[in-house]
Amino acid sequence: MADYDSDDEKSQLDKLRYAKVPRGMHVSGWDDDADELIEEDRNPQASIERMILWAVNENKLGEVREILQLDAEAVSAIDDDGYTPLHRACYNNFIDIAKLLLQYKANPNAKTNLGWTPLHSACKWSNAECASLLLQYGADVNAQSEGKQTPLHVTATISNCRNTATLLLMDRNINAQALNNSEETAEQIALRTGLTGPVFEMGHPAYDIETGLID
């Protein structure tokens, strides 16, 4: 934690740390094939890192800003499963908080213990606005989790993923033919489990167009 030079800064920090913070629920413990597990932080005011994780999850933009102004390094806080404040903002689609965190140099490619990036988290809930923001800040559109699931694979498991899938497929760096550890492409998953298979067909090799100079 950063050193504080003034009594005023110390008092602000103490005020945040010892405030009566209600119990917060946060999502953690995701893996590639399971739904989220819910873990309760019974004492989020115990540290500045736990406070920012709680504040992000509760969509408290003002509190997040105050914490970052006191200790900018809190932007890199992680929970026991490796989820950062940016992961939480993106799976909740809290776009204003995500913007603030990125302005404070949050890592758009931070990985959880299972290899999930904030983009995976945004795609899990088809949060296209946050996914777009992350890509603008350099998120790896082809990042792989431990199960070799890309954000596009995750999106393919969601029935209402049309906007998010289209966004990813339009990214010039997308590898739509990437295989997960089950040797499946996102398109194959979408055709089997979702209602948006035609969207994923945009990533089929048959639609690839090579351009060049015409003599």
User: 147-167, pLDDT tens digit by residue?
Assistant: 999 999 999 998 888 999 999
What are the beta bridge partners of residue 38? Answer: 27
The per-residue pLDDT for 205 is: 80
Alpha-carbon distance 134 to 155, whole Å?
A: 15
Residue 144 main-chain phi, psi, to 5 deg: -115, 140
Token pair for 10: 């110390």
Measured between alpha carbons, how far is 90 from 139 in angstroms, rounded to an integer?
A: 12
Query: Alpha-carbon distance 117 to 86, whole Å?
Result: 9
Q: Can you list the residues of the chain whose pLDDT is less than 50? A: 1-5, 18, 20-38, 214-215
Residue by residue, DSSP assigns 38-78 as EEEES-GGGSHHHHHHHHHHTT-HHHHHHHHHH-GGGGG--
What is the identity of the amino acid at 28?
S
pLDDT of residue 31: 43
Beta bridge partners of 39: 26
pLDDT tens column, 9-29: 555 556 555 454 443 333 333
80 Cβ neighbours under 8 A, 6+ residues apart: 28, 39
H helices present in 74-113, as ranges = 85-92, 95-103
Host H or E run for residue 7: helix 7-17
